[in-house]
Structure 1
Amino acid sequence: MSIWARSPPIYSGRLLIWSPRLPSTHDVVSQNFCEIPLGTVCVTDLQFKGRGRSKNVWESPPGCVMFSFTLEMEDGRKLPLLQYVVSLAITEAIKDVCRMQGLPELDVRIKWPNDLYLNGLKVGGILCTSTYRSKKFHVCAGVGLNLDNEKPTTCLNAALKEMISDSGQIKREDLVAAFFNKFENLFEVFSGQGFQALEELYYQTWLHSGQKVVIEEKNNGCVVNIAVIIQGLTPSGYLLATDEENKEFELHPDGNSFDFFKGLVRRKLE
């Protein structure tokens, strides 16, 4: 394992830990949070115990962008919204890299709550975990993104290959650097003004505005289907939806995010 430092790690990404093979970058930074400088990022070429939501295993072969980093937060009310800031930073970073290299823009979208999709197929995911200590939340944020593996679904560079005839490709190091440039700016806005200041940009990037969803409600032993339309996010970061009578519902994921619309837990907003 090698360590490279460019300058004091005041912001995320200033200190980089790299290894060709790790069980999980997330475990490295979370298990050593108090021993490494705040803002440290861990990058690997291959993970063999990658982590996803709900204890899912994330396949992480060579050809993926895989990194995790540390930060601190004091406001627990904002903590659930951090994964949306990370998701937004990676989609904006992809746009920046394509723009700077003269490549066609890839329309990578956010599938709530923490997946990244391209052309209807999953290409990445976000994982944020935290512990509370000394009146602060110690947060570990991780990003996994398929850059070069065309199977079993698709990847960013395969999509570019279909769009242009030359060999233009996104490089991992360019994408990681662009991510932290974006994340620093977005996190500063998020910390000072809250997620509302980023909502418009977020809604331009996610998949769900105006999406129709059927949720199930148990009533006196019977299951009733209710059709709702997703309107946005609630202040707590869950999905805000309305039915045909404009009654508002807060929708919570239940289990695997691949299937989250089938397992939504809902709460009527009074």
Structure 2
Amino acid sequence: MPTNRAVLFTSSEKLRQTFFSWFDESASRFSVMGLGLWPEDVFELTYTDKFNEEVIAAYSRSENCVPKTIKYQFDFHSYQQSLTSKAFGHIAVYADIIGTTMTVFDGLTLRYPESFSVVAIARQQTKGQGRSGNKWLSPVGCAMFTLVVAIPMKSKLGQSLPILQHLTSVAVAHSVRSLPGLQEVNIGVKWPNDIYFGSEIKLGGVVVKSTMFKNNCIASIGCGVNICNEKPTVCVNQILKENYNKSDVLSCEQVIARTLTILEALIDDFQQNGPQGFLEMYYKYWIHSGANVKVQRDRHSSEKLNALVIGIDECGYLRVRLDDGSITTLNPDGNSFDLTKNLIIAKS
């Protein structure tokens, strides 16, 4: 049976030991490193913290650690240069090809340390996951990752968990538009979880799955955004070249690292100060200001209510004002937003 190789990147030896200590405590069986870690794929996990070397020593329980020459399609040096976070992204598992990054750490999260974060990154997915069970096309050139974090339920963010997808969407948009010369590029966020160019071209999306354990929510935050793949749809680099005459060429490594750095800062600020600072950035990037929409509360009914979009609340629910002046909120998990029809429709 062919083995798909994955590499573990950590920014320090201490983090490497932390990762394997967590894995050893959580995994129920251990043969080839990664058996039980990936339910659909068999992986041989290797380790590196040396970005410019191709020789990577394979981790083993025994002392017989045989060096191997393995080439990966991921520039760890570029990733490290763009990563300025305190914790997010400093423990990363990367694979050239994987089913989906969303399941990499399944079964290991019940012992997940509160101060711990790991990210799974893939060059290509064969079974990419979108929101509500949708499939996400995952070609080479799409920046794809799943970040796993523990959020105390009694914290400010723990009381507003649905807003995680909004925090991540904004982090992606800001990772591009905060670069020098790209501030005016019209990349924004569509409620509740998509990244758009203008109001018509979808560039990516976010999906969040969570598990409650003791006093924490273990959140798996998945993201995919088209950076340098012109097919089967439009990508960021194509937009920069054709719409803004920019020579900038962004890489998946750069965007993932910058997104993780920004997301960490947004979460830290939310935990300390609440939603206000984040909401100011959110409205800078969202594409719905003053939008007139129709709301269909029952997908089996033809009744549609006219409404004006006025914002989101501290949990990320959409706030709309109906014709009678009343304000109602719409759950992001219970509704979908069809931009082509300006229609918000209940899923069930």
Relative distance call for 1:229 and 1:149 in structure 2 (3 A) is: same
Matched with 2:292 is 212
Matched, 1:250 2:255: no
Relative distance call for 1:235 and 1:52 in structure 2 (3 A) is: same
Matched, 1:65 2:143: yes
Shift of 1:228: 0.6
Matched with 2:25 is none
Larger deviation: 253-262 or 116-125? 253-262
Matched with 1:4 is 9
Larger deviation: 165-174 or 248-257? 248-257
Shift of 1:186: 0.8
AA paired with 2:345? L
Matched with 1:127 is 207
1:92 to 158, 174, 188: 174
Shift of 1:206: 0.7
1:226 to 281, 289, 305: 305
Q: Is the Cα contact below 8 Å between 1:128 and 1:139 reproduced in 2?
A: yes
SS in 1 for 2:319: strand
Q: CA RMSD in A?
A: 2.6
Matched with 1:191 is 271
Matched with 2:186 is 107
- Tell me, which stretches of 5 or more residues in structure 1 are unaligned? none
2:345 to 244, 264, 268: 264
- Tell me, which stretches of 5 or more residues in structure 2 are unaligned? 1-5, 16-85
Matched with 2:317 is 238
CA distance in 1, matches of 2:278, 2:201: 25
Shift of 1:88: 1.2
Shift of 1:208: 1.1
Matched, 1:18 2:94: yes
More strand by share: 1
Matched with 1:80 is 162
Relative distance call for 1:262 and 1:222 in structure 2 (3 A) is: closer
Matched with 1:45 is 123
Q: Deviations over 1:90-118 (max 9, x none)?
A: 1111123x31xx55743211010001101
AA paired with 1:87? S
SS in 2 for 1:57: coil
Matched, 1:116 2:195: yes
Shift of 1:171: 1.2
CA distance in 2, matches of 1:43, 1:32: 17
Shift of 1:237: 2.1
Q: Is the Cα contact below 8 Å between 2:163 and 2:314 reproduced in 1?
A: no
TM-score for the superposition, normalised by structure 2: 0.68
Larger deviation: 9-18 or 127-136? 9-18
TM-score for the superposition, normalised by structure 1: 0.87
Relative distance call for 1:215 and 1:104 in structure 2 (3 A) is: closer
CA distance in 1, matches of 2:238, 2:168: 24
CA distance in 2, matches of 1:129, 1:146: 21
More helix by share: 1
SS in 2 for 1:50: coil
Q: Is the Cα contact below 8 Å between 1:22 and 1:47 reproduced in 2?
A: yes
CA distance in 1, matches of 2:170, 2:246: 28
CA distance in 1, matches of 2:149, 2:102: 13
Q: Is the Cα contact below 8 Å between 1:252 and 1:264 reproduced in 2?
A: no
